[in-house]
């Protein structure tokens, strides 16, 4: 399909030109704030949509609607009916793949084939996976005797109940999967949702909400409040009517959310930044590992929390591997996501480009060897070439901090010193993802167990699926998304102890 679309279709253009509103209590409503949200296409630097942001009053109304819905028909709806609505939403998303993908490419810049893949494959799968769980949430019956020594019979059981009103705050780097990954488990668990998309990418979220409306969810179950992080995002984190905040974004904002949510001790789940290792041993299948290493870092222009941005290569093959890496990197053609053959889109904004270029200049000055890319092409759009540095040392900022751009930092290691390797691999504040590339099974499993991250691939990087738990250790986050753990994050346990009287 991506071959046939080279520009936004008339239908997509008409959607973008609409008067964009908030979705609160089942109605589309004019936003109450004077603050403007201006959506730019990062490939063309053109303004593609404007809308007003939500006001605090809008947020209050959205939270009130979500609270009323939680205690209304939504609670009484049989779980199987919730499942059917989610299945319908998945079907509607699949039918709308083309427009959703175009919107992702227009507001985020990602290549169209990639947005089509994400939409067509991952997002409906995630929704259907959680739809299936709706009828399988159960508690336990426990062989407990709460008051010992009394001759009584007891029935003790647990109920799994929705945590309540969930405020979701999401980033711009993968608009479709981010909104899906929050909405699907929350709704499957029976929660109600107040969703704040990133101010840079509100369009896909609005289209998604139209599909939620069409799927027949009762009013107030899903509310959309487009707005800024420093008011609506912060307002969600502080709101006394919200029971849980589900956040994906930077570690710095994650910490601010924890502080803001501390006043009423609301639940918080956090999916934050990363600096993930990609470890290549000398016996690895280099035909596979080299292109995979380039993809692990350059995918989504490096604006990807799982990106394999620190490459550790065994010194005996390092020169050969670097050559293979630069050959692989040449395949990552940079351009507008609507152009045929483009593998890497622009960075999201001028600010992000300046930041990434700053990292590149600083790493040059620090004495690392730039072996590929690193230039800013002379064209409109926030483009930067995929970049590879060899001879990076652990003290350099590029080896420790998340760049959120296509910058790969190569370090070398000695086969004999696995302990030293692991010290470097685990020597960041992050612990999100990672991978180990070797044909030696024992070594693969030993290293996989000791990389301090929420998930690790063996001869694969960032292999996510609806079934597989995903999340961070250390400052990469709290909790897990995807899989059954992703559902548990929206459920709370109640224990019921029934005194059945004397034996
Ligand atoms: P960000 O600046 O942290 O923003 C994320 C969201 O938080 C946006 O909706 C933002 O609003 C909002 N926000 C900003 N300040 C806030 C505040 N004080 N209180 C409440 N909300 C606030 O992150 P980003 O730059 O958009 O995204 C990149 C980051 O996300 C990277 O660090 C990346 O690693 C991380 N990420 C992690 C995962 C994961 O699963 N672990 C996945 C993807 C991305 P506005 O921007 O609209 O103002
Ligand atoms: Mg931001």
* Nearest Cα residue to atom 19 of ligand 1: 234
- Of all atoms in ligand 1, which is nearest to the CA of residue 470? 40
**Average of per-residue pLDDT across 2-10:** 81
Distance from C-alpha of 185 to C-alpha of 489, rounded to nearest angstrom: 8
- Mean pLDDT on 331-357: 97
Mutation choice for ligand 1 from 236, 249, 258, 260, CB with most ligand atoms inside 8 A: 249
The pLDDT of residue 309? 98
490 near 162, Cβ under 8 Å?
yes
The model's confidence at residue 272, banded by pLDDT at 50, 70 and 90, is very high
The predicted structure's pLDDT at residue 121? 84
- Who contacts 89 (Cβ-Cβ below 8 Å, separation ≥6)? 127, 211, 212, 215, 217
Can you give the length of the chain in residues?
503
Q: Which atom of ligand 1 is nearest to the CA of 254?
A: 3
* Residue range 18-39: mean pLDDT, rounded: 98
Tell me which residue has its CA closest to atom 13 in ligand 1.
229
pLDDT number for residue 149: 77
Give Cα 227 to chain centroid, integer Å: 19
Q: What is the pTM of this model?
A: 0.97
Nearest-CA residue for ligand 1 atom 10 is 229
Name the residue at shortest CA distance from atom 30 of ligand 1. Answer: 249
User: What six digits make up the tokens of 476?
Assistant: 């990469």
- Alpha carbon distance 271, 251 (integer Å): 8
- What mean pLDDT comes out for the span 272-282? 98
Pocket test residue of 42, 173, 177, 253 for ligand 1, highest count of atoms within 8 A of CB: 253
Provide residues with CB under 6 Å of ligand 1: 169-173, 196, 198-199, 228-230, 233-234, 237, 248-250, 253, 256-257, 271-274, 305, 402, 404, 432, 472, 477
Nearest ligand to residue 473 Cα: 1
Q: What percent of the chain has pLDDT over 70?
A: 99
Tell me: pLDDT of 422 over 60: yes
Sheet containing strand 267-271, strands side by side: 27-29, 22-24, 222-224, 192-196, 165-169, 244-248, 267-271, 477-478
Q: How remote is the CA of residue 248 from the centroid of ligand 1, in Å? A: 6
Catalytic residue (one of 168, 191, 281, 305): 305
Which residue intervals of 5-55 are DSSP H helices? Answer: 10-16
What tokens does 177 get? Answer: 């999967």
- State yes or no: is 168 an active-site residue: no
Ligand closest to CA 302: 1
Quote the CA–CA distance of 39 and 203 in Å, as a whole number: 8
What is the C-alpha to C-alpha distance for residues 297 and 310, in angstroms, rounded to an integer?
9
Max CA distance (Å), the chain: 85
Q: Residue 388's closest CA among 296, 312, 304, 294?
A: 294
Q: Is 150 a catalytic residue?
A: no
CA separation for the pair 109, 102 (Å, rounded)? 10
Confidence at residue 450, expressed as pLDDT on a 0 to 100 scale = 98
Instruction: Give the range among 110-124, 225-239, 307-321, 356-370 with minimum mean pLDDT.
Output: 110-124
Name the closest ligand to CA 170: 1
CA proximity to 321, closest of 390, 402, 227, 249: 390
Phi-psi bin for 163: left (phi > 0), alpha (psi -120 to 50), beta? Answer: alpha
pLDDT given for residue 416 in this prediction: 84
Mean pLDDT over all residues of the chain? 97
**Catalytic entry in 213, 271, 385, 481:** 271
Do the Cβ atoms of 276 and 306 come closer than 8 Å? Answer: yes
Using CB atoms within 10 A of its CB, is residue 494 exposed (0-12), middle (13-18) or buried (19+)? exposed
**The predicted structure's pLDDT at residue 120:** 82
Question: Which residue minimizes the CA distance to atom 35 of ligand 1?
Answer: 249
The arithmetic mean of pLDDT across residues 407-435, rounded, is: 96
439-471 confidence digits (pLDDT tens):
999 999 999 999 999 999 999 999 999 999 999
Asked whether the predicted pLDDT for residue 3 surpasses 70, the reply is no
Query: In the chain, what are the domains?
Result: 22-29+48-272+479-492 (3.40.605.10), 277-465 (3.40.309.10)
Which atom in ligand 1 lies closest to the alpha carbon of residue 260? 19
For the cut 60, the answer to whether the pLDDT of residue 1 exceeds it is: no
Q: In this structure, which residue's CA is closest to atom 32 in ligand 1?
A: 250
Instruction: Please check whether residue 314 is in contact with residue 280, taking contact to mean a CB–CB distance below 8 angstroms.
Output: yes
Q: What is the per-residue pLDDT for 118?
A: 84
Residues 107 and 141: their CA atoms lie apart, in Å, by 50
CB 241 within 8 A of CB 87: no
Residue 203 has pLDDT above 80, yes or no: yes
For the chain, report the end-to-end CA distance as a whole number of angstroms.
70
Q: What is the pLDDT of residue 2?
A: 45
pLDDT of 45 over the 50 cut = yes
Phi-psi bin for 301: left (phi > 0), alpha (psi -120 to 50), beta? left
Average pLDDT score over residue span 94-115 = 97
């Amino acid at each position: 399909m991506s071959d046939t679309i080279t520009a936004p279709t008339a239908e997509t253009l008409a959607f973008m030109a609409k008067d964009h509103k908030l979705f609160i209590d089942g109605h589309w409503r004019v936003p109450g704030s004077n603050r403007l949200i201006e959506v730019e296409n990062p490939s063309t630097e053109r303004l593609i949509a404007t809308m007003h942001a939500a006001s605090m009053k809008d947020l209050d109304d959205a939270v009130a609607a979500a609270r009323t819905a939680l205690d209304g028909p939504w609670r009484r709806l049989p779980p199987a009916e919730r499942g059917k609505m989610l299945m319908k939403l998945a079907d509607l998303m699949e039918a709308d793949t083309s427009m959703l993908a175009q919107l992702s490419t227009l507001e985020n810049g990602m290549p169209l084939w990639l947005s089509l893949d994400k939409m067509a494959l991952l997002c409906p799968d995630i929704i259907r996976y959680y739809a299936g769980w709706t009828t399988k949430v159960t508690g336990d019956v426990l062989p407990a005797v709460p008051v010992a020594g009394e001759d009584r019979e007891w029935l003790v059981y647990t109920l799994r109940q929705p945590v309540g009103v969930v405020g979701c705050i999401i980033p711009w780097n993968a608009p479709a999967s981010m909104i899906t990954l929050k909405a699907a488990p929350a709704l499957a668990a029976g929660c109600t949702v107040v969703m704040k998309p990133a101010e840079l990418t509100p369009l896909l979220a609005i289209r998604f909400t139209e599909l939620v409306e069409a799927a027949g969810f009762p009013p107030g179950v899903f509310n959309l409040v487009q707005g800024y992080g420093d008011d609506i995002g912060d307002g969600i984190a502080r709101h006394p009517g919200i029971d849980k905040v589900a956040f994906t974004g930077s570690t710095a904002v994650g910490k601010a959310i924890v502080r803001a949510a501390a006043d009423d001790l609301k639940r918080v789940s956090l999916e934050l930044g990363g600096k993930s290792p990609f470890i290549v041993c000398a016996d690895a299948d280099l035909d596979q590992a080299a292109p995979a290493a380039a993809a692990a870092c350059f995918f989504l222009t490096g604006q990807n929390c799982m990106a394999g941005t620190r490459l550790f290569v065994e010194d005996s093959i390092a020169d050969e591997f670097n050559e293979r890496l630069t050959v692989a990197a040449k395949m990552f053609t940079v351009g507008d996501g609507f152009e045929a053959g483009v593998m890497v889109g622009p960075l999201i904004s001028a600010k992000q480009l300046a930041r990434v270029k700053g990292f590149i200049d600083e790493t040059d000055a620090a004495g690392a060897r730039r072996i590929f890319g690193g230039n800013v092409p002379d064209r409109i759009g926030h483009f930067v070439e995929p970049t590879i540095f060899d001879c990076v040392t652990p003290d350099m900022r590029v080896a420790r901090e998340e760049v959120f751009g296509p910058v790969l930092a190569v370090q070398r290691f000695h086969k004999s010193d696995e302990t030293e390797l692991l010290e470097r691999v685990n020597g960041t504040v992050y612990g999100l993802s990672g991978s180990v590339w070797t044909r030696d099974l024992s070594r693969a499993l030993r290293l996989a167990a000791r990389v301090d991250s929420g998930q690790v691939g063996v001869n694969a990087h960032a292999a996510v699926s609806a079934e597989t738990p995903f999340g961070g250790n250390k400052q990469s986050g709290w909790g897990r998304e995807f899989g059954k753990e992703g559902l548990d994050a929206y459920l709370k346990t109640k224990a019921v102890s029934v005194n059945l009287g004397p034996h």
